[in-house]
Amino acid sequence: MKNRQTTTIRRPNHGWYHGWLLMASCALASLGAQAGGHFDVDDAGTLDPGQCQYETWWGRTGVEPVTGFHIGPACRVGPVELGLNIDRLSVQGVHSVTAGPQLKWTFFGQAADARLSAAVSMGTVSDLRRGGRMGGQFVVPLTWRPADSLQLHANLGADWALGTGVRTPRGGVAAEWALNDAVSVIAERNRASGAWTSRLGGRFSLTPLISVDVSASRTRPAGGRSVTGFVVGLNHEFTWK
């Protein structure tokens, strides 16, 4: 009788699992509240009354590679924007599905022609497959419009890590330059969960309510080496009443 080789499939321990989930979220997009489209630095605007939208994107980064898929519907309800973020991350055959609500309120400069705007954005996120402690995010986005074609964004806030609840600061700056009515260039520098990310991308408006985002990024986790990534996204706004 021939010897039979057996293979044991080992599931990752929680430390390793949360480690790659953290790395993936930093390299692709932050857990919890999402920026405009897939970009890390959010603007201070919200949807107009009676408007809804969905944002969806797919990204890939690193050597493993890490892949992520996101869908995020949102609607304006009274003075606030309410949304739901659902993300699927995978690496080395291990998958994670996370979801959570998001609330955003522009408390200053709500007018469309306002030069300076400020908002608060907050959300929570849970691992739907493995349970454990929820994560979350609180961010204050600021937007300054020095010209009709140029917007400068700044974010300041904190993240609570999924699974451990450890709080870390986050912040970033971004510039958005509209070349014309259909094409904008976006560059940003952001720090979250101890990792710095530089991202350069563009937004292409197919119609006044539908746009496509593309970007390339480089992320350097604390104590680790840099990884590159890319993301492709779709944004669609529509009227719900």
**Whole-number pLDDT of residue 25:** 56
Mean pLDDT of the 211-226 span: 88
d(CA 183, CA 216): 17
Rounded to whole angstroms, the Cα distance separating 80 from 82 reads 6
- 99-137: per-residue pLDDT in tens? 999 999 999 998 888 999 999 999 999 988 777 678 899
pLDDT > 60? residue 16: no
The pair of three-digit structure tokens given for residue 56, joined into one six-digit string: 């969806």
Q: Say which CATH superfamily domain 14-239 falls into.
A: monomeric porin ompg (2.40.160.40)
- Average pLDDT in the 155-181 region? 92
Beta carbons of 34 and 102 less than 8 angstroms apart: yes
Residues 6+ apart with CB under 8 A from 38: 28, 29, 55, 57, 59, 70, 213, 215, 231, 233
pLDDT at 206 over 80: yes
Contact at 8 Å (CB) between 190 and 175? no
DSSP class per residue in 60-118 = EETTTTEEEEEEEEEEEETTEEEEEEEEEEEETTEEEEEEEEEEEEEEE--STT-SEEE
CA gyration radius for the chain? 19
Would you place residue 72 in the very low, low, confident or very high pLDDT band (cuts 50, 70, 90)?
A: very high
Question: What do you get for the CA distance between the two ends of the chain, in Å?
Answer: 73
pTM: 0.85
pLDDT-based confidence at residue 2 (cuts at 50, 70, 90) = very low
Share of the chain above pLDDT 70, in %: 84
pLDDT of residue 113: 84
Nearest to 99 by CA among 114, 83, 82, 115: 83
Residue 234: phi and psi, rounded to 5, are -130, 135
Q: Is the pLDDT of residue 219 over 80?
A: yes
Cα–Cα distance for residue pair 67/28, rounded to 1 Å = 8
| Residue 80 to residue 169: CA distance in whole angstroms | 24
3-state secondary structure 121-187: EEEEEEECCCCCECEEEEEEEEEEEEECCEEEEEEEEEEECCECCCEEEEEEEEEEEECCCCEEEEE
Measured CA to CA in angstroms, residue 114 lies from 19, 45, 53, 108, 149 at distances of: 41, 10, 22, 9, 13
What token pair was written down for 35? 């920026």
Is 127 or 182 the better-scoring residue by pLDDT? 182
Strands 66-77 and 210-220: unpaired
List residues bridging with 68 in a β-sheet. Answer: 59, 89
Residue with the bigger pLDDT between 228 and 14: it is 228
